[in-house]
Structure 1
Amino acid sequence: MELLDLKKQGIDIKEQIPLSRYTFTKTGGPAEYLAFPKNTAEVEKLVKATRIDKIPLTIIGNASNLIIRDGGIDGLVIILTELKEIKVEGNQVTADAGARIIDTAFAAAHHGLSGMEFAAGIPGSIGGGVFMNAGAYGSEMQEVVDSVHVLTRSGEFKTYSNQEMNFSYRHSIVQETGDIVLTASFKLVPKDRLEILDQMHYLNALRRYKQPLEYPSCGSVFKRPTGHFVGPMIIKAGLQGKKIGGAQDSTKHAGFIVNKGGATATDYLNLIHLIQRVIKEKFGIDLHTEVRIIGKEK
């Protein structure tokens, strides 16, 4: 098997590892194979191996906005958190897919570059943030992304411009193509470093005040329907604080579901489905998940 040959060559590949070790919800079944490539060359070799071995390939970043079902994931799961270099040149910041969005935003700030203040508290990776067009406080990745360098599933390297990324609310073209984000470059604007940092610290304080950061969660669960706010609807429906197993709709922010202890991915999904059903019945509104849900049932 090509994949196991790569393991013998020193690429970090593990077998049957619970993905709950890596998700922010602390839930999720095992990966059949799990790899932590240290560089782009290793990513390329791993992708090629899945084609040769004809096994599925799943890419994961910081797993902060992700629910992995309790049955886990067949084939190879690649976690890109070892690819985390951040470079600053002039008014541009370039970060590897596994670099944390928070670290990238602060690197920009310390170089007096403005534009990523909104992202100062987003816990995901650059790859995941670009994939999802992550956003907060009225701003999104699409406003600052200059270009994105990817590896296609067929093994081709290519670079997308901002326009070619086809960004929209929590969407980018790589969701459709399956391309693997390797690096992203951000075009920013010079500004006083202390002003930038003050804004970032303010937004992070606001986040700590409003969000249930003291518990494991997958962040904001649902996309915002046009003309409505999810949290107030959940409260009006009497679902805030609702608990299924170890998963609870947060009493601090109704748009979050937290792991109060011992939750499974199935608990999360059952609570999500309950909220969707009740909101549809009471308000006639379809709630769609912002959180990415992958893997197989147990």
Structure 2
Amino acid sequence: MNQYFKFKDFFKEIYLENEIKINEKMSEHIYFKVGGPADILLSPTTVEQLVSSIEVCKENNIPYYIIGNGSNLLVKDGGIRGVVIKLTNLNNIQTKGNFIKAEAGVLLKDVSAKALEKSLTGFEFACGIPGTVGGAVFMNAGAYDGEIKNVIKEAEVIDSNGNIIVIDRDELQLGYRTSKVMKEKFVVVSAIFQLELGEEEAIMNRVDELTRRREEKQPLEYPSAGSTFKRPEGYFAGKLIQDAGLKGYSIGGAAVSEKHSGFVINKGGATAKEILDLIAHVQDKVKKQFGVELHPEVRILGED
């Protein structure tokens, strides 16, 4: 039973009625293509709508969860009680000189494309990361020896008091898959990236190279949340999993990718429980064989 349905009217002052999604299937909003329904799903198109949505949730003690495009997310089969606020409609992007300002819902590939268009270098590493700017700042996303901390100038966030503040790069405390935003449970509104002027052809060649490497090594043909585990210090998760004899190992529709053991994939008809059971099995085997603890990189929400 949707116990938060009764709060639908509170959001009618902020959204049109057809913009307030009730019992929305989260499997349609995350890359894994699994997960039960969210009681209420909202997709603000302005920062004002976002701030007002959070205020309504706080005033009425409604649990709320901020998501981007669901590329690094696993929602459990029981779904999410409360409100999910999806930021992908906050997608304005601007350039000024060697700076790019992008709202939280802008896809990283679109920032990379804009950088290429303006012959700006430094953002090539993110051309294949399927996440949004908000999620990337939240977890200091990175790939191919690049990460957000290397290119960000500042981020605009909503703090725990509902105020919009600007935090510069040093204050963001960006580390390996962590940030002040994550620790303080702030909400990213936008970010400004500081890049360098480069040569369009060289930038394009680098993007093409990274795209080719990603297509060759990653199981992009299957639903997944990208790299399932954080990199343990001194090791590579995929290598540990492969050496544990788990390449291709499956539980129901969930499997360790044959192409890259660091990826758990939905090979067809998987449930969130099967994915979680497989993650736990991999953690257990790697811990027993190598004494190394694997921690999920994927964010897990909802209830069984």
Alignment deviations for residues 177-229 of structure 1 (CA, whole Å, 9 cap, x no partner): 11110101000000011111110111001100000000101100011111111
* 2: CA distance, partners of 1:9 / 1:269: 36
Does the Cα contact within 8 Å between 1:95 and 1:183 map onto a contact in 2? yes
- Which residue of structure 1 lines up, in the alignment, with residue 44 of structure 2? 37
> Which secondary structure does the structure 1 equivalent of 2:226 belong to?
strand
* 2: CA distance, partners of 1:278 / 1:178: 32
* 1: CA distance, partners of 2:81 / 2:149: 32
Which of the residues 10, 15, 26 maps onto 2:15? 10
User: Root-mean-square deviation (CA), in Å?
Assistant: 1.1
* 2: CA distance, partners of 1:6 / 1:272: 37
> Which secondary structure does the structure 2 equivalent of 1:217 belong to?
coil
* 1: CA distance, partners of 2:182 / 2:249: 32
Alignment deviations for residues 67-124 of structure 1 (CA, whole Å, 9 cap, x no partner): 1111111111000000111101001001010000011111011101111000000000
- Note if 1:177 corresponds to 2:198: no
- Which residue of structure 1 lines up, in the alignment, with residue 79 of structure 2? 72
- Note if 1:204 corresponds to 2:206: no
TM-score by length of 1: 0.97
Which of the residues 252, 263, 267 maps onto 1:256? 263
Does the Cα contact within 8 Å between 1:19 and 1:31 map onto a contact in 2? yes
- Which residue of structure 2 lines up, in the alignment, with residue 270 of structure 1? 277
Gaps of 5+ in 2: 1-5
How many Å apart are 1:6 and its aligned residue? 2.5
Does the Cα contact within 8 Å between 2:123 and 2:151 map onto a contact in 1? yes
Alignment deviations for residues 43-67 of structure 1 (CA, whole Å, 9 cap, x no partner): 0110111012211110000110111
> Which secondary structure does the structure 2 equivalent of 1:93 belong to?
strand
- Which residue of structure 2 lines up, in the alignment, with residue 62 of structure 1? 69
- Which residue of structure 2 lines up, in the alignment, with residue 110 of structure 1? 117
How many Å apart are 1:10 and its aligned residue? 3.1
Does the Cα contact within 8 Å between 2:66 and 2:85 map onto a contact in 1? yes
The AA in structure 1 aligned to 2:109 is: I
Q: How does 1:197-236 map to 2 (within 5 A)?
A: 197-236=204-243
Structure 1 residues 9 and 220: CA distance shift in structure 2, 3 A: closer
* 2: CA distance, partners of 1:206 / 1:7: 47
* 2: CA distance, partners of 1:18 / 1:67: 13
| Between 229-238 and 137-146, the greater mean CA deviation after superposition | 229-238
Does the Cα contact within 8 Å between 2:10 and 2:56 map onto a contact in 1? no
Structure 1 residues 145 and 118: CA distance shift in structure 2, 3 A: same
- Which residue of structure 1 lines up, in the alignment, with residue 3 of structure 2? none
How many Å apart are 1:29 and its aligned residue? 1.2
Gaps of 5+ in 1: none
TM-score by length of 2: 0.95
* 2: CA distance, partners of 1:27 / 1:8: 31
Does the Cα contact within 8 Å between 2:14 and 2:52 map onto a contact in 1? no
- Which residue of structure 2 lines up, in the alignment, with residue 167 of structure 1? 174
Q: Percent identity?
A: 42
Alignment deviations for residues 206-257 of structure 1 (CA, whole Å, 9 cap, x no partner): 1000000001011000111111111121111111100111111000000001
Q: How does 1:147-166 map to 2 (within 5 A)?
A: 147-166=154-173
Count of residues paired in the alignment: 297
Alignment deviations for residues 133-188 of structure 1 (CA, whole Å, 9 cap, x no partner): 00001111000010000112432110110011101000011111111101010000
- Note if 1:25 corresponds to 2:29: no
* 2: CA distance, partners of 1:156 / 1:190: 34
- Note if 1:194 corresponds to 2:224: no
Does the Cα contact within 8 Å between 2:14 and 2:53 map onto a contact in 1? no
The AA in structure 2 aligned to 1:10 is: Y
- Note if 1:135 corresponds to 2:142: yes
Does the Cα contact within 8 Å between 1:3 and 1:46 map onto a contact in 2? no
